[in-house]
Amino acid sequence: MLWIIDGVLTIVALAPFILGMLGLSSFAEVDPTHKNVLLANLFGMDRKEMDISDAATLMTLLHRGKRPSTLRTLLPGWDMLQVNVPSREQMETAMSILVGSGLAEVDSSWGMLLTEDGERIRRSVKGWQGMRMIPGAISEILAGRQLSRAPLTLPQPVFDAAREEYYDAARRRAERAQRRRSRPRWWWPDPSRRPGQ
């Protein structure tokens, strides 16, 4: 566990230097597609490992039942797990791996459900270590399986609409939180006053 912490601290320390070499002042300036390639390189992951990791993240958020998970509900969950909103290409690749490998199904509106096989894998991973540990455990399982890819093409307008809706909702929450913080708290007790005053 300590070597993982050391590795993360090393990456955090080197990040400004690496961004400076790229002529960038912050990680936010990196294009979403290149951002994930940069992260993969920083963590020593190749493209295949990164794709499996993305498929595992998506699988963590899916379930089996009658109501499929939509892009609008998957993007916030992905951001919560990875602290990063995926690119269209990432989501498309993750979908194609899960569908092509028989672990998930996608409908005409791009809603997704786990198959029986996918649910069995998902249930085999316990979340007692925390939600963010689940994708890593699923990645290890997927890496040991024969995976295929379905010929899916997630339309850019469909993905953009879901992403903008998520961003808009996040902005509204931030604005509400800011308004609450800026209100005068006239009911807050004055620590200098004694009881009865």
- The string of pLDDT tens digits covering residues 152-175 is 999 999 999 999 999 988 888 888
Query: Do 158 and 110 meet the contact criterion of CB atoms below 8 Å apart?
Result: yes
End-to-end CA, the chain: 55
Compute the distance between CA of residue 75 and CA of residue 33 in angstroms, rounded to an integer: 15
Determine the Cα–Cα distance for residues 52 and 176; give it in Å rounded to an integer. 37
* Dihedrals phi, psi of 69, to nearest 5 degrees: -80, 130
Q: Given this model, what pLDDT does residue 6 score? A: 47
Q: pLDDT at position 120, please? A: 93
Residue type, 13: A
In 50-180, beta strands by DSSP E: 104-106, 112-114
Question: Which element (helix H / strand E) includes 37?
Answer: helix 32-42
Q: Strand ranges (DSSP E) for 47-192?
A: 104-106, 112-114
Instruction: Give me the residue spans of the domains in the chain.
Output: 23-178
Q: Which of 60, 153, 152 is nearest to 114 (CA)?
A: 60
Tell me what pLDDT residue 181 has. 75
Radius of gyration (C-alpha) of the chain in whole angstroms: 21
Residue that the structure tokens 């990196």 belong to: 30
Q: What is the largest CA-CA distance in the chain?
A: 75
Q: Which of 138, 125, 120, 57 has the alpha carbon at shortest distance from 93?
A: 57
Tokens at 33, concatenated:
């597609």
pLDDT given for residue 16 in this prediction:
53
Query: Would you write out the chain's pLDDT as a tens digit for each of its 197 residues?
Result: 444 444 444 444 454 554 455 555 544 455 554 555 555 555 556 788 899 999 999 999 999 888 999 999 999 999 999 888 999 999 999 999 999 999 999 999 999 999 999 999 998 887 766 788 899 999 999 999 899 999 999 999 999 999 999 998 888 888 887 777 776 655 555 555 555 55
